[in-house]
Amino acid sequence: MDLDMKFFREMEERIPKGKVRTRFAPSPTGYMHVGNLRTALYTWLIARHAGGTFILRIEDTDQGRLVEGAVDVIYKTMAECGLTHDEGPDVGGPVGPYIQSERRSLYSKYAQLLVEKGAAYYCFCEKAEEESSGWDREADPCRNLSQEEIDVNLMAGMPYVIRQKIPQEGTTTFHDVSFGDITVENKTLDDQVLLKRDGLPTYNFANVVDDHLMGITHVVRGSEYLSSAPKYNLLYEAFGWEIPTYVHCSPVMRDQHNKMSKRHGDPSYEDLVAQGYLTDAVLNYVALLGWAPKGELGEKEIFSLAELVDAFDIAGISKSPAIFDIAKLDYFNATYLRALPPAGFAKAAEPYIRQAVKNPAIDPAAVAALLQARCEKLTDIPEKVDFFDALPGYDVSFFTNKKSKTDSQVSRTMLEAAIPVLEALPAWTLEGVHDALIGLAETLGVKNATLLWPVRIALAGKLVTPGGAVEICHILGREEALRRLRAGLEKLGA
């Protein structure tokens, strides 16, 4: 088959040179799992740290696994995480198209070029679509067909795949940033399918062609692809192309023995956000799943995205699997929630407050102020604040607290004294409520806690609340606060 070498020269001339270029190349098969997000983040950080170019490429050649709407999930996740791309399907670029199915015509040309170079062959066997490593290349009658036999089969319209022709002798060595040099014997490698019968490339072949034609300098992927790396190298060498820097990341594990998996209920990025985790906290935690900063930053844990760009060095990527610890993520999330400006926290918290507090008279910003220092994730909020909407049923034993020196009798005395003082307040302000109650405790000659414990229990009906008696009293408003205090007094048998 005559090949147009001018086409290949023109494709080479399009490739940008001289800068770091990385790509995130997800398959649109649904959600963005944590391992995928980590790959996207590392790939983005490598490019940004080096002042290079970050590319988004959609790998949709596996048509059977495509999920409707999945591309939108990819765009949405990347945008929410601030992982902006310089080139991609939506923004274009010099080496498009950036969707694999739109590059279909390229792959057959490059597969045929490999055949010309003796690094691939037409396989007409019935089970030629098979891609498992069990393919016995020595028993494959197509591996050594004469050109005449090949031409006859092609003229007859026989279906075929194109397979990589792996050398039968010798070894192949590749280098990985984390794992170092790895050498394999060529006889252990299978003649993998490059081009399927439908003319679409396999994942392994499309990756190599696209990475080269897009000028990718650093390839980040999971360590499960280490076994395919020798075959990638042989493809690069057969084409005469420069081999990119390989960065294979070890898996994110649920525990010592099991990889994270949506099938086993492990959360995707979307799940984590729905569970009340902040995107910035998730990104920070995910960055540290398999990477650690070096030097003076070695002990640092909390990084903004901009700080990660400055600190990120591929030498810090570990070859040991990382265990996803939800308790550690809770810690990161709590740290991020507490660092938010009060207005920012109030905005993030309001939808969760309103899940439990429907009363429009309750100010969600005032409730949020009580929560910020007492909240690990936003989904904790509804059960913490539901008492603002309706006083729950509670046991009279709640009024007894050894530390505050209260029992039913003491609590009754405290409420009897507090109600008229609060009724007489000229203005219902936080400062006014505070001064009235603290002044009353002084007048009664009791510790603040002895008065405030029964007041808080009567107001909230809960042993543990965000905020104390003063704040809760103020937020509830005069009428509702006094109604609850009187109900508490009645419960105490007054």
Q: Which residues are catalytic?
A: 262
Return the SS3 of 244.
coil
Tokens, residue 467? 């905020």
Which residues partner with 244 through β-bridges? none
Distance in angstroms (rounded) separating the CA atoms of residues 196 and 161:
5
Distance in angstroms (rounded) separating the CA atoms of residues 356 and 349:
12
Distance in angstroms (rounded) separating the CA atoms of residues 342 and 365:
9
**Alpha-carbon dihedral sign for residues 274, 278, 281, 284:** positive
Tokens, residue 417? 């004294």
Give the other-Cβ count within 10 Å of 68's Cβ: 8
Closest CA to 123 of 109, 105, 139, 110: 139
Distance in angstroms (rounded) separating the CA atoms of residues 54 and 21:
6
Distance in angstroms (rounded) separating the CA atoms of residues 323 and 290:
9
If phi > 0 it is left, if psi is from -120 to 50 it is alpha, else beta; for residue 26 that is beta
> What is the identity of the amino acid at 180?
G
Residue 454 contacts by C-beta under 8 Å, 6 or more apart in sequence? 399, 406, 410, 411, 414, 415, 488
Distance in angstroms (rounded) separating the CA atoms of residues 236 and 230:
10
List strands edge to edge, sheet with 161-164. 120-123, 161-164, 193-195
Would you say 88 and 56 are in contact if contact means Cβ atoms under 8 Å apart? yes
Asked, as a colleague might, if the bond just before 159 is cis with ω within 30 of 0, I would say: no
Task: Please list, residue by residue across 254-282, b when 16 or more beta carbons sit within 10 angstroms of its beta carbon and e when fewer do.
Answer: beeeebbeeeeebbbbbbbbeebbbbbbb
Radius of gyration (C-alpha) of the chain in whole angstroms: 32
The C-alpha angle 197, 200, 202, rounded to 5 degrees, equals 95
